[in-house]
C-alpha cells in the first residue's frame, strides 16, 4: 500500500532507463532483420497462446483477441535481458538487438488491439445464423415490453414493471443469468438479442417498446442497430454510460436514451440539496431544467 502511489513513477523511470539503454547505432543496416525478428516473436507467442486459450475453455473469437493482445514482449523480458547482460551472459550487441526487438513489439500493441477488435466485431456481424434452440425456447407470449439484458439494471427494470403489472419478455445470452433467474422463479429466455430471429421470436414485431439494458456497450450498439433495421417502427429505450454514448445510440436509431452518469449526478445533487434544506419544488424545477438542457445537447428525440 505504501509503494502503490509511486508505482506509476517507478514504472515510468524503468521504461525511461530502458529507452536510454537503446543504441540504434548498432543496427543501422539491419532494419529488415529487426522487423523479421519482431514478426517472429509475435507469431510464436500467438501460436502458443491461442491453443492455450482454447484449452482453458475460451471461445475461438476471444482466443484470437487474447492471443493478439498478449503477443508482444513484456517489461519482464527487459528485466531478464538486463540481468543477463550484467551477469555476462549476453554481449552488448546481442543485448541491444533483443532490447530493440522487445520494445518494437510493445510499440505495435495499439495496432494489435485494433486488429483484435476488428476481428471480433466482424466475426459477430458475419455470424448471421441463430441457433434454433434459442428461438424454440423463447416463450411465445404477447407482451408490450421486451427486455434485452437481465443484469443488475435489467432486474430492477423488471421489478418495476412487475409492480406496475406490465408483462414483459426478458432475453439474456448469459446462461448463468438465465439459470439463476429460473431458480428464483423468474422467466428469462436464453438468446442473443443481436439476432433479429431471436427478437422476432420474442415478439418484437408486435411489442410496444423494447428496453435494452445490456452492460456491454458494443453489444448494445449491435442490438439497437438490429432493432432499427429489422423493426423500425418499434421504439427502443436504452441506457448509455455518458451523454456521448447516448448520442451514438440515438444515431443508431434509439428513441429514448438515459445517461447513467447524468442521472446519478442529478439524483445525488437532489439528495444533497434537500438535506441542506432547499425547497423541494424549486430543486425539482432546477434539476429538470438541467436534465432537459443536457439531453438537448444530445438531440434526444424524447426531450425536444
- Per DSSP, the residues of 57-82 read T--HHHHHHHHHHT-S--HHHHHHHH
pLDDT of residue 283: 95
Inside any domain, residue 74:
yes
Inside any domain, residue 83:
yes
Residues 142, 88, single domain; the answer is: no
Residues 10, 116, single domain; the answer is: yes
pLDDT of residue 26: 63
Distance separating alpha carbons of residues 205 and 196, to the nearest angstrom: 10
Inside any domain, residue 234:
no
Residues 48, 19, single domain; the answer is: yes
Inside any domain, residue 66:
yes
Would you give the distance in Å from CA 228 to the centre of its chain?
A: 21
Domain carrying residue 196: 135-214
Q: What is the pLDDT of residues 223-232, one digit of tens each?
A: 999 999 999 9
Distance separating alpha carbons of residues 118 and 65, to the nearest angstrom: 9
Inside any domain, residue 84:
yes
**Domain CATH for 144:** 3.40.50.720
Residues 158, 246, single domain; the answer is: no
Instruction: From 97, 80, 76, select the one nearest 89 (Cα to Cα).
Output: 80
Inside any domain, residue 227:
no
pLDDT of residue 5: 67
Instruction: Please say if the pLDDT value at position 152 is more than 50.
Output: yes
Residues 69, 122, single domain; the answer is: yes
pTM of the model: 0.54
pLDDT of residue 222: 93
Instruction: Please say if the pLDDT value at position 288 is more than 60.
Output: yes
Distance separating alpha carbons of residues 113 and 120, to the nearest angstrom: 11
Say which range, 64-68, 263-267, 270-274, has the weakest mean pLDDT. Answer: 64-68
Considering Cα of 225, then 230, then 235, then 239, what sign does the dihedral take? Answer: negative
| Mean pLDDT to the nearest integer, 87-96 | 85
Confidence bin at 178 (pLDDT 50/70/90) = confident
Radius of gyration of the chain (CA): 26
At which of 63, 95, 126 does a domain end?
126
Residues 122, 155, single domain; the answer is: no
pLDDT of residue 230: 92
Number of domains in the chain: 3
CB atoms within 10 A of CB 114: 11
| Mean pLDDT to the nearest integer, 108-132 | 69
Inside any domain, residue 224:
no
Residues 17, 122, single domain; the answer is: yes
Instruction: From 272, 216, 284, select the one nearest 249 (Cα to Cα).
Output: 216
At which of 126, 161, 180 does a domain end?
126
Q: Which residue has the higher pLDDT, 133 or 174?
A: 174
| Mean pLDDT to the nearest integer, 210-234 | 93
pLDDT of residue 130: 47
Within 8 A by CB and 6+ apart from 172, the residues are: 148, 149, 150, 151, 154, 178, 181, 188, 189, 190, 191
Say which range, 17-26, 80-89, 120-129, 263-272, has the weakest mean pLDDT. Answer: 120-129
Residues 115, 147, single domain; the answer is: no
Residues 104, 143, single domain; the answer is: no
Q: Give the DSSP H or E segment for 18.
A: helix 7-21
pLDDT of residue 212: 96
Inside any domain, residue 12:
yes
CA distances from 111 to 24, 47, 95, 123, 125 (A): 23, 18, 26, 18, 21
- Residue-averaged pLDDT of the chain: 84
Distance separating alpha carbons of residues 146 and 144, to the nearest angstrom: 7
Instruction: Please say if the pLDDT value at position 300 is more than 90.
Output: no
Amino acid at each position: 500500500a505504501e509503494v502503490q502511489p509511486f508505482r506509476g513513477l517507478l514504472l515510468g523511470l524503468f521504461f525511461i532507463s530502458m529507452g536510454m539503454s537503446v543504441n540504434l547505432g548498432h543496427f543501422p543496416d539491419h532494419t529488415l532483420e529487426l522487423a523479421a525478428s519482431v514478426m517472429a516473436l509475435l507469431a510464436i507467442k500467438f501460436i502458443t497462446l491461442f491453443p492455450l486459450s482454447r484449452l482453458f475453455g475460451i471461445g475461438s473469437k476471444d482466443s484470437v483477441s487474447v492471443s493478439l493482445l498478449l503477443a508482444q514482449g513484456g517489461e519482464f523480458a527487459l528485466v531478464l535481458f538486463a540481468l543477463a547482460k550484467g551477469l555476462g551472459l549476453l554481449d552488448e550487441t546481442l543485448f541491444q538487438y533483443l532490447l530493440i526487438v522487445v520494445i518494437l513489439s510493445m510499440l505495435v500493441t495499439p495496432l494489435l488491439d485494433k486488429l483484435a477488435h476488428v476481428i471480433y466485431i466482424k466475426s459477430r456481424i458475419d455470424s448471421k445464423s441463430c441457433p434454433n434452440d434459442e428461438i424454440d425456447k423463447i416463450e411465445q407470449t404477447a407482451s408490450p415490453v421486451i427486455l434485452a439484458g437481465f443484469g443488475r439494471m435489467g432486474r430492477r427494470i423488471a421489478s418495476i414493471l412487475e409492480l406496475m403489472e406490465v408483462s414483459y419478455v426478458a432475453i439474456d445470452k448469459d446462461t448463468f443469468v438465465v439459470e439463476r433467474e429460473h431458480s428464483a422463479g423468474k422467466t428469462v429466455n436464453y438468446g442473443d438479442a443481436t439476432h433479429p430471429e431471436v427478437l422476432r421470436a420474442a415478439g418484437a414485431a408486435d411489442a410496444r417498446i423494447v428496453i435494452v439494458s445490456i452492460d456491454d456497450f458494443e453489444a448494445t450498439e449491435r442490438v439497437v442497430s438490429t432493432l432499427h433495421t429489422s423493426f423500425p417502427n418499434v421504439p427502443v429505450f436504452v441506457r448509455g454510460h455518458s451523454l456521448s454514448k447516448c448520442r451514438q445510440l440515438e444515431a443508431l436509431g434509439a428513441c429514448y436514451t438515459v445517461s447513467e452518469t447524468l442521472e446519478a449526478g442529478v439524483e445525488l445533487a437532489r439528495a444533497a440539496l434537500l438535506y441542506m434544506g432547499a425547497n423541494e419544488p424549486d430543486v425539482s424545477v432546477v434539476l429538470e431544467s438541467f436534465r432537459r438542457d443536457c439531453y438537448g445537447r444530445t438531440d434526444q428525440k424524447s426531450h425536444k
